[in-house]
């Protein structure tokens, strides 16, 4: 059968400069095994499957798959799916806000001007990295300059990121991650990936530079632009409004905005549709 399909580029206004996402808009009737097979085939970092909501407060339900597993939440799939649904004609129950139902519960997505979208970061409690793992972390980073006053933190948001502040954006860009050591660190710290960030000088392209990496099947993968990692960083930088550039090391130009509203961080950006058609299965 034919199912509506979009491939969108998230956290960018310029095609091919953000983070791609596949969205299956008519996923009802697909089993979890079929969804996983489709996600392996698209071979993107994530593929989302839109289903009818089971919670009356939600506008839709989404399941999020990598090529290997299902995630209860992820950031760029949240914004990308909302963009695809609005473009396909979905009318929110509440003007100006979509409510996504997913593995972590209900996630509101604000609809801003000129196509901008922002999701409220799910709750998370940062916990200090075990001090005994610091040598491993330093080995992963190649002894790049950690910020002297910032403790590396494990932040669980459905996806678990190890969040590390470096001395500056230049330090962030200079890191050459050691994949083998990262595998050991991720296993022992029980995290899905490592997110490093550092401030740009005043007048720079953004307030912070961010890089996010993980290891899949023994291969180091750097994510172009990462909503969940930025949401975890926002929980660490609680109460601040700021901007982020990510993907620079990959030749991308991802842009993320973080706005604090009523004490809660909202992770924002734009998306563009690259492919719009049907998938036959």
What is the distance between the alpha carbons of residues 168 and 199, in angstroms, rounded to a whole number?
A: 5
Instruction: Please list, in sequence order, all residues whose beta carbon lies within 8 angstroms of the beta carbon of residue 180, skipping any fewer than 6 positions away.
Output: none
Token pair, residue 190, equals 């029980």
Choose the catalytic residue: 28, 33, 46, 222: 46
Residue in 106, 88, 233, 105 with CA at minimum distance from that of residue 97 = 106
Q: Could you tell me how far CA 8 lies from the centroid of its own chain?
A: 14
Q: Which two tokens stand for residue 64?
A: 């999020």
Go through 227-246 and write b for each residue having 16 or more CB atoms within 10 A of its CB, e for each that does not: bbbbbbbbbbbeeeebbbbb
87 is catalytic: no
Question: Measured between alpha carbons, how far is 17 from 247 in angstroms, rounded to an integer?
Answer: 8
Question: Which residue reads 């909501």 in tokens?
Answer: 53
Please report the sign of the dihedral spanned by the C-alpha atoms of residue 38, residue 40, residue 41, residue 42: positive
The total of other beta-carbon atoms located within 10 Å of residue 89's CB is 6
Rounded Cα distance between 116 and 83, Å, is: 9
Residues annotated as catalytic (active site), given as ranges: 46
């Amino acid at each position: 059968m034919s199912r509506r399909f979009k491939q969108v580029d998230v956290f960018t206004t310029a095609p091919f400069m953000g983070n791609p996402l596949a969205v299956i808009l008519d996923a009802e009737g697909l089993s979890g095994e079929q969804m996983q097979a489709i996600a392996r085939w698209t071979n993107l970092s994530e593929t989302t499957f839109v289903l009818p909501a089971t919670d009356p407060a939600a506008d839709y339900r989404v399941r999020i798959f990598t090529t290997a597993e299902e995630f209860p939440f992820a950031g760029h799939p949240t914004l990308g799916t909302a963009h695809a649904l609005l473009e396909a004609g979905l009318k929110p129950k509440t003007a100006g806000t979509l409510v996504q139902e997913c593995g972590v519960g209900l996630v509101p997505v604000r609809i801003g001007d000129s196509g901008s979208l922002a999701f409220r970061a799910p709750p998370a409690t940062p916990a200090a990295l075990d001090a005994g793992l610091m040598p491993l972390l330093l080995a992963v980073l190649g002894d790049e300059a950690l910020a002297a006053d910032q403790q590396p933190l494990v932040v669980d948001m459905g996806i678990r990121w190890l969040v590390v502040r470096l001395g500056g954006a230049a330090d962030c860009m200079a890191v050459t991650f050691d994949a083998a050591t990262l595998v050991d660190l991720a296993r022992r710290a029980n995290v899905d990936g490592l997110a490093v960030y550092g401030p740009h000088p005043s007048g720079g392209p953004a307030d912070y530079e961010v890089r996010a990496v993980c290891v899949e099947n023994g291969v180091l993968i750097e994510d172009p632009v990462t909503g969940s990692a930025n949401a975890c960083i926002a929980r660490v930088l609680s109460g601040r409004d700021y901007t982020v550039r990510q993907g620079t090391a990959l030749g991308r130009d991802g842009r993320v905005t973080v706005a604090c509203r009523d004490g809660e961080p909202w992770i924002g950006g734009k998306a563009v549709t690259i492919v719009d058609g049907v998938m036959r299965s």
